[in-house]
Amino acid sequence: MTSKSRWKLLAMLALVLVVMVWYSISREDRYIELFYFPIPEKREPCLQGEAERKASKIFGNYSRDQPIFLQLKDFFWVKTPSAYELPYGTKGSEDLLLRVLAITSYAMPESIQSLKCRRCVVVGNGHRLRNSSLGEAINKYDVVIRLNNAPVAGYEGDVGSKTTMRLFYPESAHFNPKVENNPDTLLVLVAFKAMDFHWIETILSDKKRVRKGFWKQPPLIWEVSPKQIRILNPFFMEIAADRLLSLPMQQPRKIKQKPTTGLLAITMALHFCDLVHIAGFGYPDVYNKKQTIHYYEQITLKSMAGSGHNVSQEALAIKRMLEIGVIKNLTYF
């Protein structure tokens, strides 16, 4: 091969390399643009009904007629009893539920209910919130939805200090709710089993505590007011499982796959809010054994084994929602 031919070959190889690098970078840019929404200097316009319109592409026969929280009057003279057991319905748990609804409330605060356009953010518990400095931006949303026992105290700079609603179940209830919530925070019970209703009833009525029937011991003393407690409508768990994850409603007892509280919170928000943003969602790659999954503790993805959650399937569901713009992400996904 002549010297001239070698130079031509090297030039062609260099050109191919440049094109490959450019394509790789452009793909990465498009990926980030698709799944990352940098905080704007001004508030994004909130269009009433925008989330409802886009969510119909995912949920099909989309309706906002379903109440967010269960209320006592809906369980008297019921013409169409629930078709499913918990967590997708109330079949078989009605008596326990009635006693809980008799001492709790169902109202949404008027300050939120009366808003012409509701801006909501669902704050996940993911490690991407660590050192994110998103706290101030999160506090500006009308509705801030948090999950389980994720702490606020000490992390305000990254996750904010405002909590409008906190979704939880007995095993994920924070032992000191007054420290991690605002005085007017709605504590929204996600019931996975009948014992969850029994637990909240014993707490609020100061009855003999339940110690068995939980995979992890929930608080036995829990200082909250019944006025703060709400019971989430199982409809949203059903919709998240069916429409987002294609899970069967009837499963063998040994399997029991179910959506995470995070995906459930997004589903609920899309049935109530006009603008839905998320932050702190996404798990490390399955091969990344050392990366922590939460911003506040050192546990890894290994801890999810046996949880009944398919995090890969949930990631695909969230990416689909990001792709069509029904939600936007404040952190990388």
The mean pLDDT of the chain is 86
Give the Cβ contact number of residue 99 at 10 Å: 17
Distance between CA atoms of residues 145 and 164, nearest Å: 6
Q: Minimal CA–CA distance to 219: which of 300, 268, 292, 149? A: 149
Residue 183 tokens read as: 């005085």
Q: How confident is the model at residue 2 (pLDDT cuts 50, 70, 90)?
A: low
Beta strands in the chain (DSSP E): 119-123, 143-147, 165-168, 186-189, 229-231, 275-279, 328-329
Q: What is the mean pLDDT of residues 288-304?
A: 77
DSSP string, 139-180: HTSSEEEEETT---TT-HHHH-S--SEEEE-GGG--S-HHHH
Q: How confident is the model at residue 19 (pLDDT cuts 50, 70, 90)?
A: low
Burial tier of 252 (Cβ tally within 10 Å: 0-12, 13-18, 19+) = exposed
Is the confidence at residue 306, as pLDDT, over 70?
A: no
pLDDT higher for 310 or 172? Answer: 172
Fold of 46-329: sialyltransferase cstii, chain A (3.90.1480)
pLDDT tens digit string along 125-156?
999 999 999 999 999 999 999 999 999 999 99
The three-class DSSP label of residue 63 is coil
Q: With contact defined as beta carbons under 8 Å apart, do 185 and 160 qualify?
A: no
Is the confidence at residue 49, as pLDDT, over 70?
A: yes
pLDDT tens digit string along 59-99?
887 677 889 999 998 876 566 778 899 999 999 999 999 99
Burial tier of 251 (Cβ tally within 10 Å: 0-12, 13-18, 19+) = middle
Given this model, what pLDDT does residue 33 score? 43
Report residue 280: phi and psi, to 5°: 75, 30
